[in-house]
Structure 1
Amino acid sequence: MITQAPDGDQPLDLHNALRVVKSAEETARRELRGNEALLYLVWGLSWLLGFGTLHGSRFGWLPLDYEPALAIFGVFLLIAIVITIVATGRYSRGIRGHSAFLGAMYGVAWALGFLVMGTLSGIIANVVDDFWVRGMLINGIAILIVGLLYITGGTTFNDKTQSLMGVWFLVINMVALLSGSEHYLTVFFIFGSGGFLAGALVETLRRRQQRQLTHA
């Protein structure tokens, strides 16, 4: 004998259930890392202006010696770091449990990775005299860390865009190193900043599509 379900009971809508799950995942990801599109844009502009300044100094289309150019590059990176810390700190405030642990360990990995890079940079500076070769080696270490942590972050937070950007940075890092000290700045000036800007565009379109699905 088949008993009919009460009128108030509705059959399970798998599409709506999937939409709810994806919406919750998006919310959790935003809370852990903030607005990815904004952060990618900030870093894209930082790299574009920073590597552009070094490139202009290297090839003479900017009236700057390499030391002031390097200082300007450092200022752009510092601005991007401060914006990233403020943005992610605001979004992650109040998060507890396993999500907080993931976010904290991811942050620790970035901090420790660049502390190691700083140590290696000091050693390289003592044994390599040529400024541009020294810069290429130090930059290669930094981008190695960035690429690996982007891949790790993407897999941890289920973010395909971030993982693909990590792969992209590792590929252009290898290309830049193989191109030598004369051309590695050109590679990062064009393709490094371009990777961040492309990521910002992809994330903007994805967030817009997500909002449309949520309100559908």
Structure 2
Amino acid sequence: MTQQTPAFDAGSALSALRQSEASVRRATNPNPPILYLLWGTVYTLGYLAVHAALFGWLPMSLPLALTIFAALTAAGAAISAALGAHAGKGLRGESRRRGMFYGLTWASGMICVGFIVVALLRLYLESATVIWLSSVIATLLVGVLFATAGAAFLDRSIFFQGIALLVANVGTLLIGPGPFVLVGWLAACAVLFIGAVIAARRTTNRLN
């Protein structure tokens, strides 16, 4: 009696491949929705604290507000680094180097922004003006990095998020360092929260 070989099930094979891909992604990728949500929260709380101190709608001194913003940023950087280190364990070769170079670009850019802020402080400008210009420079850097990454990797979502950050930044420039600058700041934060939603939907679609 001849034993028949089971017919090849293309659907089952495709499902197995997708499950394998999803497992690899979960093991090697930092969670993009968490990163977007993390930095959206950091900047929203930081900008609210600084704005409250500058314009007096909360009993908070400017040094305290800046300390809160710095602490939030440090915590965000630590969490981001931990997620990136976890993801890097599963990467080798070109992918690992690409991620390392991109991360170094971000770090170098932010260090430059820090030196620019120090230079602005030495000009003895008003506090509101220094913070306004600092936020504009930082958002410009982040927007350009987003748009460049989207263009390099042909990722339209990241590219248009970068463009949206640059548009929000133009709004911040036009508003100026007065009380309404919070509108521009929160618009930039909204782009990050929208990015979290988009990234979560994309992650869900990939896992299904």
TM-score range, shorter chain: 0.7 to 0.9
Q: Which runs of 5+ in 1 are unaligned?
A: 1-6
TM-score using structure 1 length: 0.81
Unpaired runs of 5+ residues, structure 2, are: none
Who is 2:45 aligned against?
49
CA distance in 2, matches of 1:30, 1:134: 42
CA apart distance, 1:9:
8.9
Look up the match of 1:4.
none
Q: What amino acid is aligned across from residue 205 of structure 1 in structure 2?
A: R
Aligned equivalent of 1:201, options 197, 202, 206: 197
Q: Give the Å deviation of 1:155.
A: 3.2
**Within the alignment, does 1:104 sit opposite 2:100 as a pair?**
yes
Partner of residue 181, structure 2: 184
Alignment of 1:1-216 (within 5 A): 27=24, 31=28, 34-182=30-178, 183-188=180-185, 190-212=186-208
**Runs of 4+ residues over 4 Å off in structure 1:** 7-13, 23-30
- Measured on the aligned residues, the alpha-carbon RMSD in Å equals 2.7
Q: CA 1:198–1:39 in 2, change beyond 3 Å: closer, same or farther?
A: same
User: How has the CA–CA distance of structure 1 residues 122 and 26 changed in structure 2, closer, same or farther, with 3 Å as cutoff?
Assistant: farther
CA contact (8 A) 1:153 1:163 kept: yes
Question: Structure 1 residues 127 and 115, CA, compared in 2 at 3 Å: closer, same or farther?
Answer: same
Contact 1:29/1:157, CA 8 A, preserved across alignment: no
Contact persistence 1:143–1:173 (CA under 8 A) = yes
Tell me the alpha carbon deviations over residues 95-131 of structure 1, each in whole angstroms, 9 at most, x when there is no partner.
2111111101101111111122122222111114211
Query: How far apart in 2 are the matches of 1:164 and 1:26?
Result: 28
Is the contact between residue 154 and residue 163 of structure 1 (CA under 8 Å) also seen in structure 2? yes
Q: Check the 8 A contact 2:175/2:181 in 1, yes or no.
A: yes
Question: Which amino acid counterpart does residue 181 of structure 1 have in structure 2?
Answer: P
Q: Is contact 1:44–1:196 with CA below 8 Å preserved after alignment?
A: yes
Query: Does the CA-based 8 Å contact 1:54-1:185 persist in structure 2?
Result: no
**Cα offset for 1:157?**
4.1
Q: CA deviation at 1:153?
A: 2.3
Q: TM-score, normalised by structure 2?
A: 0.83
Q: Deviations over 1:51-78 (max 9, x none)?
A: 1111222332211122211111111111
Aligned partner of 2:48: which letter? G
Give, in whole Å, the separation in 1 of the partners of 2:104 and 2:23.
Answer: 23
